[in-house]
Chains A and B, each alone.
Chain A
Amino acid sequence: MFKSLAPPEFLAKIDQVKCIKCKRCIQNCGWSVYSWGGDKVLIDTYKCVNCLRCYHYCPEEAITIEDNPVRFRSNANWGFYNIRNIKRQAETGGIPLTGMGSDMPYPVIFDNLLLDACQVTNPSIDPLREPMELRTYLGKKPAKLEFEKGPDGKSKLKTKMPPQIKLEMPFIFAPMSYGSISLNAQKTLAMAAKELGIVMNTGEGGLHEEIYPFRGNVIVQVASGRFGVNADYLNAGVAVEIKIGQGAKPGIGGHLPGEKIPLDIAKTRMIPVGTDALSPAPQHDIYSIEDLRQLIFAIKEATNYTKPVSVKIAAVHNVAAIASGIVRAGADIVYIDGFRGGTGAAPVIIRDHLGIPIEHALAAVDERLRQEGIRNEASIIAAGGIRSSADAAKAIALGADAIAIGTAALITMGCTVCGKCYTGNCSWGITTQRPELTVRLDPEVYAERLINMIHAWSHELKEILGALGVNAIESLRGSRERLRGVGLDSQTLDILGVKPTGR
């Protein structure tokens, strides 16, 4: 076997003077970069992904990871990854895979949007002194409310409310299946969701028995592979989600290779050990909006109309018309995943070149549903590259009811967005099933960090609301008047329904 002509991206270096030969780097690296050479640690830098696990666990700060200065000759057209991927393809004949959301330098619209604040004429509110309402209900809202007089002469609500998901803050954890992430990572999400009064989502890999105790904070997902789906599963959580697409890989299926299906995952997915878990690109019982309606109501029948049904789609060109169809098909929630959304594994070429940004999709969908007078018929969840509470606030102002957090939640568990989730070697124990790696992720410890992070985001949201002079997240929802675009062209501003700064 000859040396790969794709040079390593990173150089792992050990300062041999500082190194005490404790071998912790060897233990910690999931990619086997380090090995013991008898008298010193040997380094295979080709395997390094710069996840910094070794750096953090080196007691002597002896390790540094650098970008490899050896690059192909710089070329404005032929970038490093263009050349590198061709070399990899020449060597393997395969499709290069990647993990996480796209890292391509497409414009990030959130960074060109600014929020309003109160000055002089309308007082701002101090969230430390006055109550701020972040509570959010997801589900169909009636077009009108009817009241009747009860026997005691008091008015009471006559309208029967459709089922809702109650969230203490406008966040949910994005669907990440057991298989794509470890059970400990799922437990971390479930524990945090329960403590925070929000929800996590099983993804399409079924519901593990250890997540069952958290079922009051779980959305269960039904995707094309129907893994782990039966009548009990549909009734286990607070809502059911039909997964049509994912922002990172719109229009393509999923593929968990057989070697990543050990007994426990097979059990949860209800499939034999070692076979591929293939999720076909479409659900082959859904070829139209009418078919989607049929599945939505098959699920509603199976859950006796007690659970909201969500439909998750990737943000694509005609997303507004598609979302309108989804709402008319009877969905209670529309989950829109922008093209920057994360993934455990996707072909690079798909992740980086298909779909549209969540900012555009969200604005277009919210506007379309309002125009058609059906915005109350479904809640909107926005996802795909939400990095901070500011992104979340801007998305809510563009029309989202709640924000899905995936990558940001994993970052609290140690993830450094190295993008190698698909290898199954995650040194932090997140996107791996190797027991010696998953054991590192203690759900108790990391749930607390995740809770801290969501609390911090919630406080920031309250500060933003206070500055805007409103005391409920509901007052910001779809309020594009509180946004201004900076450095955006008039067409983009028009799509976003936002004025330019200064106007």
Chain B
Amino acid sequence: MLTIDAKGTYYRRLNEQVREAIAKGEKELLLKNVNGQYYIGDGLKGEAMITIEGVPGNDLAAFMDGPTLIVKNNAQDNIGNTMNSGKVIVYGNVGDVLGYGMRGGKLHIRGDVGYRVGIHMKGYKKQIPVIIAGGTAGDFFGEYMAGGALILLNLENKKDGQIVGDYLGTGMHGGTIFIRGEVDKKLCGAEVGISDPNEEDIKFLTDYLKDYCKDFNLKLEDIMKVDFKKLTPASSRPYGNMYAY
């Protein structure tokens, strides 16, 4: 394992060091004293595992394709921007615009997520992007969602109205949102239908939550004690009748 001290290092130099190390075949990196450096893991490919100590800056794992990033602290905005595959594990809370246009891979967040999470998330062939957040979410959760899954766990068991913000799933035309707890229909965009998860959904949830529980040392049974609500688009063509030809 290679340790890089990020203290006082400008992001461009830090990321250069990371790229150089991975190009040399390094599989495990530890970045110490990270303090807001942007773009860690940006465009990285392969199987590397990078552990980050400190708070990384925006666009963590943007365009990333394969590696695993572990953040032992909070993280900031734009994590997993247009990410293709790989995994990001964050022990704390994260900021806004998580997984924008994400096509594959996993984002496991232990705490809360901010606004505009999972916007235009897609699925493609066998790629299913999945974001799991342990806490609560802000407005525009799953806006324009086109594929993949957003799973909001509300592990603190907050009451309806505090779990997720307004404009939930507005413009949604693919994918699934699972929310642990009750969902008020008035928070949702008109394009969203709310139902109870079926057997297949529970299997899907169980599979993905097992991995999540492993990352954070949680118990699956505790999570599954509370029922989930499933949000899906009412149509894959929400704006089909908008135009005159």
Could you tell me which residues of chain A, from 270 to 303, have a CB within 8 Å of some CB in chain B?
A: 270-272, 274-276, 278, 280, 284-285, 294-295, 297-299, 301-303
Q: Does B38 make an interface contact (CB < 8 A)? A: yes
CA gap between A304 and B39 in the complex, in Å: 12
Q: Does B244 contact A (CB under 8 A)?
A: yes
Q: Give 1 or 0 for each of A220-237: 1 = CB within 8 Å of chain B CB.
A: 001011100111101100
- The reply to whether the CB of B59 lies closer than 8 angstroms to some CB of chain A is yes
Q: Does A213 contact B (CB under 8 A)?
A: no
Contacts of B103 in A (CB 8 A): 226, 230, 270
Q: Does A258 contact B (CB under 8 A)?
A: yes
A280 contacts B144, C-beta separation under 8 Å: yes
| Interface residue? B171 (CB, 8 A) | yes
Q: In this assembly, does A423 line the interface, its C-beta being within 8 Å of a C-beta of chain B?
A: yes
> Do A95 and B173 form a contact, CB below 8 Å, given A230-B84, A280-B120, A302-B63?
no
Residue contact A257 to B240, C-beta cutoff 8 Å: yes
Q: Identify the interface centre among A97, A231, A278, A422: most chain B CB within 10 Å of its CB.
A: A231
A272-B123 contact, Cβ under 8 Å, with A230-B82, A230-B84, A294-B59: yes
Choose, from B154-162, B179-187, B220-228, B231-239, the stretch at the interface.
B231-239
- Assess whether A94 is interfacial by the CB under 8 Å rule: yes
Give the size of the chain A interface in residues (CB under 8 angstroms): 44
CB–CB B173/A278 < 8 A: yes
Q: Which of A231, A276, A303 contacts B237 (CB 8 A)?
A: A276
Cα distance, A274 to B236, chains bound together (Å): 8
Interface on chain A toward B: helix, strand, loop, or mixed SS?
Answer: mixed
Judged by a CB distance under 8 angstroms, whether B62 is at the interface is yes
Q: Tell whether, in the assembled complex, residue A284 and residue B39 are in contact, meaning their CB atoms are under 8 Å apart.
A: no
Minimum CB–CB distance for A93 against chain B, Å = 7
Query: What is the distance, in angstroms, from B48's C-beta to the closest C-beta of chain A?
Result: 14
A contact residues around B122 at 8 Å (CB) = 226, 270-271
Give Cα A222 to B238, complex, Å.
23
Q: Across the interface, do A297 and B124 meet the contact criterion of CB distance under 8 Å?
A: no
CB neighbours of B12 from chain A (8 A):
301
Determine if A231 and B43 form an interchain contact, defined as CB atoms under 8 angstroms apart.
Answer: yes
Bitwise, B38-70 to A at CB < 8 A (1) or not (0) is 110011110000000000001100111100000
Question: Mask for B137-151, Cβ within 8 A of A = 1, else 0?
Answer: 000100110110000
Residues of A within 8 A of B245 (CB): 94, 97, 422-423
- The yes or no answer to A92 lying at the interface (CB within 8 A) is yes
Q: Which of A11-30 contact B (CB under 8 A)?
A: none
CB distance B244 to A226 under 8 Å? no
B71 at the A/B interface (Cβ < 8 Å)? no
What residue of chain A has the Cβ atom nearest to residue B144's Cβ?
A280
Look across to chain A and name the residue whose beta carbon is closest to the beta carbon of B147: A272
User: Mask for B20-35, Cβ within 8 A of A = 1, else 0?
Assistant: 0000000000000000
Decide if B82 touches A229 in the complex (CB within 8 Å).
Answer: yes
Measured between beta carbons, the chain B residues less than 8 angstroms from A230 are 63, 65, 82, 84, 103
With A231-B65, A285-B100, A301-B15 as known contacts, state yes or no: A278 contacts B119, CB within 8 Å.
Answer: no
The verdict on A156 contacting chain B, using a C-beta distance below 8 Å, is no
Q: CA separation between A234 and B63, bound complex, in Å?
A: 9
Q: Does B229 sit within 8 A of A, measured CB to CB? A: no
Q: Does A155 contact B (CB under 8 A)?
A: no
Within 8 A of A (CB), among B191-245: 236-245
Q: Does any Cβ of A come within 8 Å of B78's Cβ? A: yes
Assuming the contacts A94-B242, A278-B239, asked whether A225 and B124 have C-beta atoms less than 8 A apart, the reply is no
Query: Beyond A89-B244, A94-B244, A224-B120, is A255–B239 a contact (Cβ under 8 Å)?
Result: yes
Most buried by B among A92, A96, A226, A285: A285
Q: How far is the CA of A422 from the CA of B243 in the complex (A)?
A: 11
CB of A88 within 8 A of chain B? yes
CB of B87 within 8 Å of the partner chain = no
Decide: B43 and A276 in contact? CB cutoff 8 A. Answer: no
Give Cα distance in the complex from A239 to B159, angstroms.
49
Decide yes or no whether B174 CB sits under 8 A from chain A.
yes
Chain A residues, CB < 8 A from B236: 258, 274-276
How far, in Å, is B237 (CB) from chain A's closest CB?
Answer: 5
For residue B101, CB closer than 8 A to chain A, the reply is: yes
Which residues, 222 to 266 on A, are CB-close (under 8 Å) to B? 222, 224-226, 229-232, 234-235, 255, 257-258
- Chain A residue numbers with a CB within 8 Å of B19 are 304
Q: How close is A6's CB to chain B, nearest CB, in angstroms? A: 10
A285 close to B97 (CB less than 8 A): yes
Closest CB pairs A-B (n = 8): A302-B43, A226-B101, A94-B244, A92-B244, A301-B42, A231-B43, A230-B84, A301-B39
Can you list 8 A-B pairs, Cβ within 8 angstroms, ordered by A? A88-B244, A93-B241, A96-B243, A96-B244, A231-B43, A276-B237, A284-B143, A294-B78
Extra pairs beyond A231-B44, A423-B245 (19, CB < 8 Å): A89-B244, A92-B244, A97-B244, A225-B101, A225-B120, A230-B82, A231-B45, A270-B122, A274-B236, A275-B174, A278-B171, A284-B143, A298-B59, A299-B63, A301-B43, A301-B62, A303-B43, A304-B19, A422-B245
Q: Could you tell me which A residues sit within 8 Å of B by CB distance? A: 88-89, 91-97, 222, 224-226, 229-232, 234-235, 255, 257-258, 270-272, 274-276, 278, 280, 284-285, 294-295, 297-299, 301-304, 347, 422-423
